A and B are shown apart, each in its own frame.
Chain A
Amino acid sequence: MSTLTSNPTSNEGALRRFIRHLLYVMTDNPVTAIAFILFLLMIIAALFGPWLVPYNPLATDSSSTLQAPSWQHWFGTDHLGRDVFSRVVVATRLDLMIAVTAVAIAFIVGSALGAIAGFYGGWADRITGRLMDTIMAFPLFVLAMGIVAAAGNTIENIIYATAIINLPFYARMARTEVAVRRQAGYVQAARLSGNRDWRILAFQIFPNSLPPMMVQISLNMGWAILNAAGLSFIGLGVSPPTPEWGIMVAEGANYIVSGHWWLALFPGMALMLAVFTFNLLGDGLRDLVDPLRRT
């Protein structure tokens, strides 16, 4: 059957090939396409949010407090008369920023530790393994709370706390993925070609263990957003009046009883949608970085 597969034109530019592959991944699975579109919307909101929204997210207006959703205020207004829609859109940047940075740190440090443990085994493996077990032994959210409370109530500390609680996932995954490839034929061949250990790890083994890690990154992104919002909800990290989904839900929760449901609902929906998007995105991302899925 191999003779029947079409010949890829090798002189085609790398970017065009990537776009063609992206289009294939999206059309092959409609769920992935939806996830990519939602993700794109989130990126737009994060980058251009402040210029797109109809009102200043911080501007209070005492004449129109607690108004229900209308054509003027799509998501209604809060107790200070601020436009909920504007606040939800503008908050995207902060929430995404926290999640992306935290996951990036967790991925880089965690996979480096895990890769070294998996490649060398022995003491390196034992030490990182026990370290990760120690982190995992705590309830993760409580650990994050503790870190933020102890280190100080700033956005940076929320990021570090989120990164630390996500570290073990990457370390464990990288360790397994690297360990199964340690004796692969191409690794032996690279040794014969005069590659040093670090080079084999960095250029031969690690890139090949990326596809499953992409799924993890994407799932973690959702958790990280939830985690950051959760910390804000209980009053750690981001402080009012900064627009942030967690704070908005926390503030809005007081008004649900009095029938002002829109205050908590819309930021909550945004949070849910973000987590949902990242969860769906995982498989698509994996397919995108997996060379075997390309023709």
Chain B
Amino acid sequence: MAIPLLDIRDLTVEFATRNGTVTAVKKVDIRINKGETLGIVGESGSGKSVTSYALLRILDRAGRIADGSIVFGGVDVGGADERTMSELRGREMSMIFQNPRAALNPIRAVGRQIEDVMIQHGLATRGNARGKAIKMLEAVRIREPEQRYHAYPFELSGGMCQRIVIAIALACRPQLLIADEPTTGLDVTTQKAVMDLIVELAAERQMATLLITHDLGLAASYCDRIVVMEKGEIVEAATVDELFANPQHPYTQRLMRATPRLDSQVADLLPVDDKRRASTERQPLGPPLLEVDALVKAFGSTKVSDTVKAVDNLSFTLHEGESLGLVGESGCGKSTTSAMIMRLLDPTSGALTFAGTDIAAISAKQFAHHPLRSKLQMVFQDPTDSLNPRWSARRSIEDPLRRLTHVNRQELNSRVSLLAERVGLPLHLLDRFPHQLSGGQKARVGIARAIALEPRLLILDEPTAALDVSVQAVVLNLLASLREQLNMSYLFISHDLNVVRLLCDRVMVMQAGQIVEEGPTDKLLSEPSHQYTRALLAAIPHPPAHANPNNISVATL
């Protein structure tokens, strides 16, 4: 067998923290051959990113490689001095970061940033760098590279920025490309374009790729081999086919089950014996609860010609007990729509009839104390951002009760305990601050706060976008159960058709402020009529079909 390009043996990384030493990565063995694509899959805190940082020797000050060896192309990375490392970084191995905007210098033209890395490593001179940079822009399929060369990161979309980052990473023709969650935060169609590009360029240049992701579906679509990490250790390593045909480790099985596939129901995401599984029973639909009629939100100047319509003539009806999905990519106007329905934002024109009252006529300011306020609540996208960092979980949950109901201290405490129980939050966590809770626990606090006033309509704004898949599975089941227990209607807003479909009876697809397609979930997914819906569906990465551990979804269908 040939000598692998990268050979990591027994890698152990430790961090010195306030509470003693924490081992983030434990005895990890990874080998990558030339031209191979390896995926490291794991949830947050599994040590997958730390492994790649150790590999590039860019660990935090508190972290250190405690044990093990890293050999890259014959160079001992663990023992190399800083000078050798800066030669290696960027030139031999380079990295694509999670947030492309944060990875680019905001005040330097993108073309210059590509030149910088080439000049740094002596692959271009001041004279010929410009031409080479434009060639790189062409290579990452950026149209009009001559003009884009002068663009600043803020002038480009997220997907474009990620292409620039890829161009910088590949400018020196490295042998190994490390992609750390390269598509998190990008829309699903952009994700496909970016991933296709990475794989294509890697094949063209005989480059090895290390793809770090939490998305099993994504890893399956683009990798040759997959390494599954949990709590700093590798629990399973196999080729994609082997792994999906016969996952050995219980963690891999759980992860696979939790990854939504095209045919799974919401309960399928959790093991059969899990008490948190939602029942599939649904309440019958009631009368219309929310009627949206010709809703418009225009931004910009008062002159008609200059305005941008974020939401353009939107109309739909949501019945009591119904769950409606609103799917679209970033910038399509779905968040503006939800803010208007929530009455956080005043619409430019149009009517919003909620429970028989035209709430669009009440200004956002006055609505804060309107009796209907408590019936219209929301679960926010980012559980961390939506909790006041200085308030304990208890205080966050009881805030709506204190503001909009008149209950005494004792009743308040029992209500909060009941809510915590409802969302499955252990009572002893109620006195913790948000930063002391995990992502899933924070999501539960946010849900408990949203249902505290027993709303009739709950808007879910990408409630699981910031969560790991296994936590997402639990949260989705929780939302499905709560809907039946409390007889709520949901408006589920997301960019991910695959998740929306698990909870919704009906789905609307939104593009550029307008609804382009609408229909019952099953029909919309099986026979999409609009081209945009088809593009969205095609872009979702899927694990291989034979992947289900117990073939549950096949049995239920």
Contacts and interface: CB of A to CB of B under 8 A. Distances in A.
B428 interface: yes
A3 B231 contact: yes
> Is the contact region of chain A dominated by helix, strand, or loop, or is it mixed?
helix
Among B17, B231, B382, B390, max chain A CB count under 10 A is at B390
A295 B380 contact: no
A185 B382 contact: yes
Contacts of A4: 19, 22
Contacts of B396: 186, 189
Nearest to B382: A185
A9 B116 CA distance: 51
A208 B45 contact: no
A4 B23 CA distance: 9
Contacts of B231: 3
Contact of A195 (B376, B381, B399): B399
A1 B385 contact: no
Nearest to B24: A1
Interface string A9-26: 010000000000000100
A189 B377 CA distance: 9
State which size class the interface on A falls in: 20 to 34
A182 interface: no
A140 B385 CA distance: 39
B403 interface: yes
A191 interface: yes
Contacts, number: 91
Contact of B19 (A5, A10, A208): A5
B449 A295 contact: no
A150 interface: no
Contacts of B435: 291-292
B359 interface: no
Nearest to B405: A194
Contact of B381 (A185, A186, A194): A185
B235 to A, nearest CB: 16
Among A3, A194, A292, max chain B CB count under 10 A is at A194
Interface string A190-205: 1111111101000010
A188 B378 CA distance: 10
Contacts of A70: none
Interface stretch (B30-38, B168-176, B367-375, B540-548): B367-375
A294 B433 contact: yes
B373 A291 contact: no
Contacts of B404: 193-194
Given A185-B381, A188-B386, A291-B433, A2 B403 contact: no
Contacts of A189: 378, 380, 386-387, 396, 446, 449
B342 interface: yes
Contact of A193 (B24, B382, B387, B403): B403
Nearest to B446: A189
Interface string A23-48: 01000100000000000000000000
Nearest to A24: B18
Interface of A: 1-6, 8, 10, 24, 28, 184-186, 188-197, 199, 204, 207-208, 291-292, 294-295
Given A185-B386, A189-B380, 11 more contacts: A1-B22, A5-B19, A186-B386, A186-B387, A189-B386, A192-B400, A193-B400, A194-B400, A195-B368, A207-B390, A208-B390
